Structure formats: structure tokens, C-alpha cells
Amino acid sequence: MEEPTKTILKGGEFLMKSTPAIEVFCPEDYTEEQKMFRSSMRDFLLQEVEPIKEKFDSKDGTTIAPVLLEKMGNLGFHGIGVPEEFGGLNCDFKTELAFGEIASDSFAFAQSIGVHTGLGIYPILLYGTKAQKDKYLTKIVSAEIKCSYCLTEPSAGSDANAGKTKATLSADGKYYLLNGQKMWITNSGFADVFFVFCKIEDDPNLSCLIVHKEWGVKLGEEEKKMGIHGSSTRQVFFEDVKVPVENLLGERNKGFKIAMNALNAGRIKIAVANSAIAARAFKLGVSYANQRVQFGQAISEFGAIQEKIANMAIQMYANESAWNRIAHHVDLVYDEMVENGVSKIDAKFQSIAEFAMECAMSKVYGSEMEQFVVDEALQMHGGMGYSGESEIETLYRNIRGNRIYEGTNEINRMLIPSTLLRKAMKGELDLMGHTMQIFQDLQQGKISTVAGEVDDWKFLAAYLSNVKKVCLLALGQAVQVFQDKIKDEQEILMRAADMLIQTYYLESAILRSEKHFNTSNGSIRKDICIALMYATADELKVAARDIIYASAQGDMATMVLKSLNKLLQLPVTNLKDRKRNIAKHFISVNQYQI
């Protein structure tokens, strides 16, 4: 397989620049090494998790998880992206995510893996002193030390910096006295070390302390949750816990940066997990539809079920196309930074932070795709899906939290356009230059509908260009009216986020399909892109209308909306037949496989 070339896009730049299909990274491009890692993790799950998967829907899972984490540590599975000097394999971000997709298909145990390897390793790796890395990192990679991440409090959820947990420096300056309460803390029941975000003295912002359980950390009972029952989740209490000053992680008063950079990686890893869980739900749904006979035929032969299967597969395809693409961009920026003299550790978190916007988009799209797929798979089961003994019912309960943690989807939606605008204000993106050119084209009557056949890749590329223009026009109109007060217009920001997300995911699916059109199932790939394009057009029309109505009046609103609709106009095509074509492929293979 030809390696993608190194044309480097920065975060948010996709909106203003086109990307040749050959330059994207896709699941079809996985190396033999990446496939080997995925296969090894799948073998581990088949041996260690699948035979006892029911236990992870009960509190039993909370006692099994630490044992399995240690077994994974012995196999080196926690250190995929960790430097070799700390017991890791030093793989790139693409490999880390490709491996993580398989690891995520492990029911509630996936939560323990994610927090330990992501929120446990990353803070020390990226912000720890040499002494801290030497002391903790190798033992975390082996799971001799198990980690928990303490950010959320009763009064501090989305507003994380409002936390009341406080550390006071001792008179001799040797330790902090830590007092406070954390809640919804994953792995807390068995963690040895807690990364605790708190405010030191009267600091306005958070700091992060590395706290050992043995120093007097107290735990509440396991929470009674809707799902992921096998994931340990408790309240954590600190009452005059003595923490040595050398256990301050990073700089004082800058813990919020640590939290956010850990969350950037965590958000895209949720999208990766969403792919894994959606694939399991999809297989359950399609398999049941192939077996269930009603009115003398398998229900998978009915158009209503085929439409569900097609719509599920379309979103799954877009999701995995996007997160693999993002991972490749992160790696390219990382390589560029290292070549320019940035240390490997600094480049690691800076390259992910560069794509904070895309990571937030992946979390939103992925978790909502997953919710849709699992819900539709359950619906295909009919009454059996509602049974407490069905696996799809377990998945339905387990996934609901994915739209809440790592920042609620509402918070992430507002973050997306805000990040784009902030980069533009800093001069990192020529957002306003491109927007003004489009407004000028609009006034001169240069805005036009794409002509041609929808099956032509050139048509799809031209339509993508129009979709990006629609995003810039709608967001530009809102910024022109509200200027710096747009940060208070949350409804507009959320609609803008939806437009940006749909644009990125449509482009990712199209580029992947064009690149691998001649590899396998080319007609299916193209039908997926065309169906997604029409769905995207519908969603953009609604979101753009809401933005324009909220930020323009009278003739201006009419003119802009008319131009947007012209840009989004599409020719007639038989979407029913295209979706049946898509569905029949997946019905025949009885799973998500393309």
C-alpha cells in the first residue's frame, strides 16, 4: 500500500484547504505491525474477557479488572505509545488508536483500561519530572501501580476550575495538606495512585498532585450506575492527606492545562471506543435480523430493516474514517515538531493539542453515532432487545455515559467553533480572509450549484468545496453580527459545531472511499459517500437556517439563505436503492466489514 505523503494540515485548516485522497490514512492502510497488535489484543479479550463478560455487568467486574490490567501489563499492552526507556513500545498515535479500538471492545473493563492507560500514563509522561517518570511510569505501564484520575466534584462538573478541593502548604514547606471530595472517579476502588486536581492555597486555577492511596485516601461505596456496573466508580475523600511537595505534577496553578491536554487525547479515544462498541452492536443486530423469520422470511430482507442497517453502516464508516485521519495528522505534526527541534515529549502533547477541535468533533460524532447504532440494533431485536438477558440491552445501558464524560457533548460542541475562532484571532488560520472572499463572490453572483453526476469523484470534490463555503458563510454572518459576544450565543455555537462536524466527516468518508475505490467494494463505498452527502446537506440546511435567522434580518437573511440553499442543492438520485445496495453487502457478511 502506498504511504500517504506528508502534506501537513494544522488544526481547523481542513475548512479552508482541500486534501488529495492519497494523503489520508485509513483502516485499509494499517501496517502488518498494527494488524499484529490488534490481533494480539483480540486474542487476549477472547481468552480473558469474553468467557466471563456477564461478570462485567455486575460488581464482580470491579475485582476482576485489576487482575486483568496486570495481565495486560505483562504483555506490554499499556505501553503502546510510551517511550521504550519506560517500558513502552514507542509507537505512533495511529498505532495507539488502532490498538485501542480492539481494547475498547471489552464491556465495562474498557473503562478501566482507558483511565489507566490514557488518564494515568499521559499526565506523568507529558508533565512529570525525570524523578516522577523514573518513580512511576514503568510501574504504571506494567500495572504494578494502577491509576485513577480525580477531576470532577459535586459542584464542579463541566466547570472543572470551580473545584473546591484544596491543598495547603505546611509550615516547613515539605508537604501539602489536601482536603476535599471527588466524585464519579473511575478505577477508584482499586487504584494505588490518584491524580488529584485541586487549588493550592488561594490560587485561582487548578494544580495537580500525585496522591498515594496509602496516605489516607478514603473511598465511598461503589456507585449504583445505569450501566458499566463492572467499572469501579466511587467518591473519593481527602481529609488532611499529607502529599510531599515533590508530588506536584507540572507547574503550580497550571493543572487545568494538564487536565485539558489529557482530555484531548481522551476525547478521540472515546471515538475509537465508539467504533468498537458500534461494530459489536451492529453484528448483534444484523445477525439477529438474518436469523429472525417473520411473515415467512428473514426480517433482514425487509426494506425497513435494510434502511436501518445502511444508515448504521454509513455513520460507522464515517466515524472510523475520521479518527484514523486525525491520528495521521497528529503524527505528521509530531514529526514536523521533532524535526524542528521540539523535544519528543513536548511534541507529543503539542501535536494532539493542535487538533483539540478535531478531537472534540470526534467525541461528539462518535458517541452519537454509537448511540444511534446501538439503539437501532436493539430496535431490530424487537422485544428480545428489551430483555435484561440480552447482550444488546447491556450495551444500551453501558454506552449512555459516553455523551457525558470527557466533557459533555454540549460543552464539546461549544468548544469546536470557539477553538476555530480563537486560532483565527491569533492569526494561525486565515479564516476571515476566506470568509470575506466567499461573501464577495456571493455579492457578485458567483455562487453556483454543482453540476454533473453524483457518482463522479469530481462532483463529490466540488460539492465538498460548496459545503465548506456554507460553513464559512454561516459562521461569518454570525461573527459579523455578534463579534466577540458570540461566545455567549451558545445556540449558534452548537449549530456551527454541527456544521463543522458534518463537513469533516463527509470529507473523511469521501477521501477514504476515493483512495480505496479500486481496493474492495468500490460501489458500496461510493454509495455510502453519496447517501452521507445527501444526509449532510439536509443537516446543514437546518443548522445554517437557524444561524442565519438568529444573526440576520430581512433582505440580508433571505439573500444569504438563498445562496446557502443554492450551494447545497443536489440532483435527484435514488437513495432507497443505494441504501439497499449498502445493506445487502453487510447482511451478506453478517457484520460490519468492508
Amino acid at 435: T
For every residue of 200-216, which 3-state class applies, written as one string?
ECCCCCCEEEEEEHHHC
Between helix 431-443 and helix 409-425 the angle, nearest 10°, is: 90
∠572-578-580 over CA atoms, to 5°? 140
Residues 6+ positions from 225 with CB-CB distance below 8 Å:
231, 233, 401
> What's the CA gap between 259 and 357, in Å, rounded?
16
DSSP string, 420-463: HHHHHHTTSS-HHHHHHHHHHHHHTT---PPPS-TTSHHHHHHH
The dihedral built from the CA positions of residue 203, 208, 211 and 216, taken in this order, carries a sign that is positive
Amino acid at 317: Y
Q: How far apart are the first and last CA of the chain?
A: 17
Enumerate the H helices of 292-390 as residue ranges.
303-339, 344-354, 356-381
Q: Which one is catalytic: 23, 376, 406, 507? A: 406
CA distances from 8 to 27, 305, 348, 354, 424 (A): 19, 42, 16, 12, 18
Nearest to 116 by CA among 71, 181, 57, 51: 71
Residues 6+ positions from 205 with CB-CB distance below 8 Å:
161, 199, 253, 254, 255, 256
Between helix 255-291 and helix 575-589 the angle, nearest 10°, is: 90
Nearest to 262 by CA among 125, 404, 140: 125
Torsion of CA 434, 557, 497, 491, to 10 degrees: 140
Residues 6+ positions from 564 with CB-CB distance below 8 Å:
470, 473, 474, 541, 544, 545, 548
Q: Residue 436, class by beta-carbon neighbours within 10 Å (0-12 exposed, 13-18 middle, 19+ buried)? A: middle
336 is catalytic: no
> Residue 380 corresponds to which cell in the numbers above?
431490530
Residues 6+ positions from 36 with CB-CB distance below 8 Å:
none
> What's the CA gap between 42 and 183, in Å, rounded?
32
* 240-252 core/surface letters (b: 16 or more CB in 10 A; e: else): ebebebebbbbeb
CA distances from 276 to 3, 65, 139, 360, 394 (A): 25, 19, 28, 18, 15
> What's the CA gap between 377 and 399, in Å, rounded?
13
Catalytic residues: 406
